[in-house]
Each structure stands twice: as structure tokens, then as C-alpha cells.
Structure 1
Amino acid sequence: MKLQAKLDAMREDFENGRFPLVPTRDQIDTMGRATQSLIDSRQADHALKAGDKAPDFTLKDAEGNSVRSRALLARGPLVTTFYRGVWCPYCNYDLQALEEVRPQIEARGASLVGISPQTPANSRKSQRDNKLGFPILSDAGTAVAADFGLRFALPDDLIEVYRQFGNDLPRINDDPAWVLPMPARYVIATDGVIAYAEVNPDYTRRPDPSELLPVLERLRSGTAA
């Protein structure tokens, strides 16, 4: 089953009370309005795109080790996925789908990393629960997400819904700000130029990871995207 089909089924279960957490109609409506407002803001149009230069970054992995984007790019292309956090079931399905294609990504000479505002302890839980073979890097204060044009502030009514769900982002992220990255995937070529970008302000919509493979093939063969 394709990733989006799994996400659509999850959303249907969530909105129809077939989920461990059963939301009220008002909570569902608040979440929908917040997503539509982010779409209408057109912030995604200002995020980095294919052809842009990706910012360099150095972030800590779940074990506290520094990971430098330049060091990864010295070995081959870099696939990055911006991950909202351990609390987001849509994001966890996304990570699982990426893990399924990770061997094919690595066979094409690329590295794969997740980038999340959550603490290293929560990233360890994400990696363990989703059985990941790639690291999740902690983007404290969503600084790298901001460099990519992905950071946004949650509206007050959505903050209240998240609190009702037990999603205390200041605690999860060790950051008092209620900010998140828009879900995004990038393929960065070894020269630091973005070869593929997919940014969607609707966190329930994700491209299938198989879309990454032709991009990596083109980079390996040296042809233009």
C-alpha cells in the first residue's frame, strides 16, 4: 500500500472515532482550520526549492553526537526529512515508509536523516518505536527548519487542542515556543544544491518515498534533474 493510502485510512479512522484518541467535532474542525490557514498563508511557497543552495547545518543525533551536513555530502547526496515529532502518527508512518526504501536510497550512494525539533530522548523513542536505521537529528529551536523556510507558529486554538491531546510541545521539544516545521523532504546534491524539494503545509499529505529514487539515479548518472 502506498504511503498516502495509509495516511488517508488513518485520518478516516481518527475522524470517525476508530482511533485510541477519539477527538471531538470541535477539535477536528480546529485542526482543519489551522491546516487551511497555513495553506492559505502560502508560506510553503517561500520555503527552499529545487535549485536553491541548502544551508549547512550541524546537529546532534539521538546519542549526542554531532552530525555535519558537509561531512554527509562528502560521501554522497543527502536525503533529509523534516519530522514534527514522536507524538504525530502521520509523521511516524512517514518515517516507517522512508525506512522501507532506505536500502534503495543507500544503494544509490545517498544518506538519509530526519530533522526534528524534539529532544534527543524523544528521537531515541522515535527511532526505537519505528525501527529506524537512520538517525533523527535534534533541531533545537527549529533553527535549521527556519533556514529552510519551514518553521511556523501554531495558532492559539490549535495549541489548546494539542494540550487537550497531551501533546505538550514545549516539554517534548524543550522549547517554550509552540513552533513546528512544515513536513518536507529534500534531496541535496553533493555540491549543496537542492535537487528535489517537497513541502506540504497539510501534514496529512505526504509523497511516496519511491519518488526519491529517480532523483538519486539522475544524480548518480550525472544528468540534470
Structure 2
Amino acid sequence: MTLQSKLDAFKVDFEAGKPPYNVPHSVIETMHRATAELIASGAAGRALKAGDKLPDFALSDPDGNMVLSADLLSRGPLVISFYRGVWCPYCNMELQALQDALPRFQELGASLVAISPQNPVNSRKSIDKNNLTFPILSDPHNDIAAAFGLRFAMPDYLVALYKSLKNDLPAFNGDPSWTLPMPARYVVGQDGVILYAEVNPDYTRRPEPEDMLPALRLAATQAAA
């Protein structure tokens, strides 16, 4: 079963209001409106693309260790996943799919990291909830997401909805700004050039982990040349 088919199946049940979700239709309509507006804004088209240079980053893991992009690239190609947080079921399913694909990435000499705006405590929850063996990095204020062109401010009506659902992003993230990253996936060669980029303003759509394998094979070939 593909990642997207799992996401689609969850979405059908969630939007139908089936237990345990029991989500009112008005909530679904609000979420659809916000997604449609983000798509129409063209923000995804302004994010970093294949051929662009990776912005250097230094971010902390849940144990407080600084993880530097330069150190990761010194060891091989890099896979980066930007996600919204442990509170997002679509993100958790994506992280689980990436974990399953990790051995194939490692066979090609690649490292994998995931980046979210949540604080280290909630990054640890992401690791524990999804049985992850790759690093989850905290991006305070979505600053690195902004460098990639992924950060967006949630509209006031969506903030009000999240508050009504007790989804307190400032508490999750340690940041009062109510911003999120668009979910995104990147493959970066050891020279720091992005070889693969997939950005989707619709958070229910995620690329398959296998989609990155051609770029990783290319990166391995470049490294061996």
C-alpha cells in the first residue's frame, strides 16, 4: 500500500466524521478553504527547487545536540523532510513511510532528517510515536523553513479553528506566531545543490519515498566521479 493511498484512506474516514474523529462538516470546510487559498497564493512555486543551493542550517535534536547540514553532507547525500508536527496525522504517516524507506536511502550513502517548528519535547514525541531512528530537528520560528520558502502565516479564521479544537501551536512550538511550513521533501547532493524538490500546499498530499531514489542514485554517482 503506497503512502498516498494510506493518506487518502485516512482522509476519507476523517472527513466523513467517522469515530474516533467525529469532526463536524464545518471544520472540514474551513480546512478546505485554507488549503485552497494557500494553493491559489502560489507560495509553493516560490519555494526552493532542484538546481538551487541548500541554505546552511544548524538545528538541535531532542537531546540538545546541534546538527549541521555541512556535517551531514560531508558524509553523503541528504534527504530532508519538512513537516508540521506530531499533532498532524498525515505527517506521522509520512514519517513512518520514511522510516520504512531509510535502509534504501542508507544503501545509497544518504542521511535522512526531518524538520518541524515544534520544540524538542514534541520532536521527541514524534520519534517515540513513530518509532523513528533518524533525527527530528527543531526549527524555531520556522526560520529554516522560511529560508527554503516554505513558511506561511495561518489566516485568522484557521487560527480560530485550531484554538477551538485545542490545537495550541504556540505551546507545541514555543512560538506565538502561528506559522507553519508547507510539507516538503528534498534530496541534496554533497555539493549542496538540490537534486529533488517536492513542495505541496495541500498537507494531505505527500510524495512517495521511492520518488527520491533516482535523485539519490544520481547523487551517489556524482560522489563517486
TM-score range, shorter chain: over 0.9
Q: Which residue of 2 aligns with 1:80?
A: 80
Amino acid at match of 2:189: A
1:23 aligns with 2:26: no
Count of matched residue pairs = 223
Cα–Cα, structure 1 residues 19 and 66, in superposed 2: closer, same or farther, change >3 Å?
A: farther
Q: Which residue of 1 aligns with 2:6?
A: 6
Report the Cα distance in structure 2 between the residues aligned to 1:52 and 1:187, rounded to whole angstroms. Answer: 11
Query: What's the Cα RMSD here?
Result: 1.0
Q: Secondary structure at the match of 1:54?
A: coil
Amino acid at match of 1:3: L
TM-score (norm 2): 0.97
Q: Which moved more, 1:6-15 or 1:154-163?
A: 154-163
Report the Cα distance in structure 1 between the residues aligned to 2:189 and 2:73, rounded to whole angstroms. Answer: 7
Unpaired runs of 5+ residues, structure 2, are: none
Q: Which residue of 1 aligns with 2:181?
A: 181
Report the Cα distance in structure 1 between the residues aligned to 2:63 and 2:222, rounded to whole angstroms. Answer: 35
List per-residue Cα deviations over 1:33-85 (Å, max 9, x = no partner): 00000000000000000000010000000111000000000000110000100
Q: How far did 1:21 drift?
A: 2.6
Q: Secondary structure at the match of 1:222?
A: helix
Report the Cα distance in structure 2 between the residues aligned to 1:20 and 1:190, rounded to whole angstroms. Answer: 45
Q: How far did 1:19 drift?
A: 4.1
1:50 aligns with 2:50: yes
Q: How far did 1:148 drift?
A: 0.1
Instruction: Give the 5 Å matches for 1:1-225.
Output: 1-222=1-222
List per-residue Cα deviations over 1:97-116 (Å, max 9, x = no partner): 00000011011100000000
Q: Secondary structure at the match of 1:86?
A: coil
List per-residue Cα deviations over 1:107-126 (Å, max 9, x = no partner): 11000000000000000011
Q: Secondary structure at the match of 1:52?
A: coil
Amino acid at match of 1:28: I
Q: Secondary structure at the match of 1:79?
A: strand
Report the Cα distance in structure 1 between the residues aligned to 2:20 and 2:177, rounded to whole angstroms. Answer: 27
Q: Which moved more, 1:31-40 or 1:158-167?
A: 158-167
Q: Secondary structure at the match of 2:113?
A: strand
Q: How far did 1:164 drift?
A: 2.0
Q: Secondary structure at the match of 1:74?
A: helix
Report the Cα distance in structure 1 between the residues aligned to 2:163 and 2:104, rounded to whole angstroms. Answer: 39
Same amino acid, percent of matched pairs = 59
Q: How far did 1:24 drift?
A: 1.1
Q: Secondary structure at the match of 2:76?
A: coil
Report the Cα distance in structure 2 between the residues aligned to 1:42 and 1:219, rounded to whole angstroms. Answer: 29
Report the Cα distance in structure 2 between the residues aligned to 1:157 and 1:68, rounded to whole angstroms. Answer: 37
Report the Cα distance in structure 1 between the residues aligned to 2:17 and 2:148, rounded to whole angstroms. Answer: 36
List per-residue Cα deviations over 1:196-223 (Å, max 9, x = no partner): 0000000000111111112111211239
